[in-house]
Amino acid sequence: MSTPLRAQAEVSAQCSSCGLHELVSVVLARSAQGAWQPVENTGNFLDRWRRRTRPGTRPDPVLTTVQIDVCPVCMGAWFDRGELDVLSGDLGDVEQVLAPELGRAQRPCPHGHGLMVEQQLPGLIRTPVDRCQRCGGIWLDGHERRKLAKASTREGQGTKTERWLRRGAIWAAQVLTHLPVEVDNPARGTPWVVLSLLVGLFGLFLLQVQGVIDTYTWALVPGRLQANGDWWTLGTSILLHGTWVHILGNAYFLYTFGDNVEHLFGRWRFLAFYLAAGLVGAVAQALLTTKTALPVVGASGSIAGVLGAYLWAFPRQRLFQVILWIQLQVPMWMYLGVWVAFHVVMGLFGTGQGAESVAWFAHLGGFLTGLGVTPFVLAWRRREVAHRVRVPARPAPGTAVALPP
């Protein structure tokens, strides 16, 4: 088996695109079908490949592996000289395809060679890519990487039949539930806080169902809060739910979008943010609703805060949504723009039993909390990442950039 291509020193650099993570090494191996797939251990991958292709025999271990450096948040990637040539298949020598320099880029080479230059890949990517003049490495943003992969490789995406079967299964589930589905934004690690919150919320709901917890006593009732001052219900109400549909819907959104936000924020910051968004949502509901006698329960304010944070961090992330039996790919900003407009209209003018049963202002309060807090949290995280690596994404003016040994 060939060893990973590595002509340079190991990278210790902050992602020059989003700045939210240090670059991590990922080994890509070409499968028996010719597709590139990330593997944690090339030896284990080779063993599985042997068993699948020639059971009981010892095949000739001919697999190509390439080690690239990737940002786990935005999926931007750094390719040392020659790596992109191997991965790009029929494209051939990338350096020969690159157009002349457009000018100096604002991003430093992850190996500490100073600012890179911008060059075009004509006919493949509209935006310019960044290339280091000294080491010849190339940086691709996440969307550029996907665009190039679609144009020149299969990148481990499976056969067309597999992709259509997956889309069909998602479409059938969405027709039944009308819930959005992420197109491609997998979790980066185990979201322990999200999983713990789900276990806790379902445990409390089962206690409600068994009658151990009196829902009305611990619910937020705006009129009762103003009369009796039972302020603690602002906190207890966000831990309870009214029905199975209520808790299952909230659990789906928390699991789908919360894993990415937890990874961005960090576990303790995410937990504090989740609770704060829920409390702000509860206060907004208590102050703005005209239905002061209706009890309010649910983690919807907290989860709306998660949606606001997700929108700020991943505005171009696409969702599958079925509209009139047709599955569309909708940008996150468009989906949540409609969601916010609908909540404002229903909160101000909605009537009827169904409209009154939804805490519209709690949702909006939590969502605005997510939008307001997230830029500060992400700036905090960028500073932390910059201090952990040798090459930060934005070196201070006049600061010498350390070169690799």
What mean pLDDT comes out for the span 182-198?
A: 83
Most confidently modeled of 2-11, 31-40, 263-272? 263-272
Asked if 347 and 198 sit in the same domain, the reply is yes
Number of domains forming the structure of the chain:
2
pLDDT at 399: 42
Considering 98, 119, 152, which residue would you say is the last residue of a domain? 152
Does 16 reside within a domain?
Answer: no
Does 401 reside within a domain?
Answer: no
What mean pLDDT comes out for the span 196-212?
A: 95
Q: Give yes or no for a contact between 196 and 271, defined as CB atoms under 8 angstroms apart.
A: no
What mean pLDDT comes out for the span 339-368?
A: 77
CA atoms within 13 A on the CB side of 238: 28
Query: pLDDT band for position 42 (50/70/90)?
Result: very low
Asked if 188 and 148 sit in the same domain, the reply is no
Asked if 124 and 197 sit in the same domain, the reply is no
Kindly state the tokens that stand for 67. 């080690």
Asked if 298 and 374 sit in the same domain, the reply is yes
Does 19 reside within a domain?
Answer: no
Asked if 306 and 243 sit in the same domain, the reply is yes
Tokens 């197109």 locate to: 183
What mean pLDDT comes out for the span 178-197?
A: 81
Terminal Cα distance for the chain, rounded: 28
Which domain covers residue 244, as residue numbers? 160-388
Does 8 reside within a domain?
Answer: no
Which CATH number does the domain housing residue 266 bear? 1.20.1540.10
- In this prediction the pTM is 0.79
Query: pLDDT band for position 342 (50/70/90)?
Result: confident
Q: Give yes or no for a contact between 4 and 67, defined as CB atoms under 8 angstroms apart.
A: yes
Asked if 354 and 214 sit in the same domain, the reply is yes
Q: Of the ranges 163-172, 174-183, 207-216, 367-376, which one carries the lowest mean pLDDT score?
A: 163-172
Query: pLDDT band for position 234 (50/70/90)?
Result: very high
Q: Give yes or no for a contact between 141 and 127, defined as CB atoms under 8 angstroms apart.
A: yes
What mean pLDDT comes out for the span 340-359?
A: 70
d(CA 190, CA 344): 35
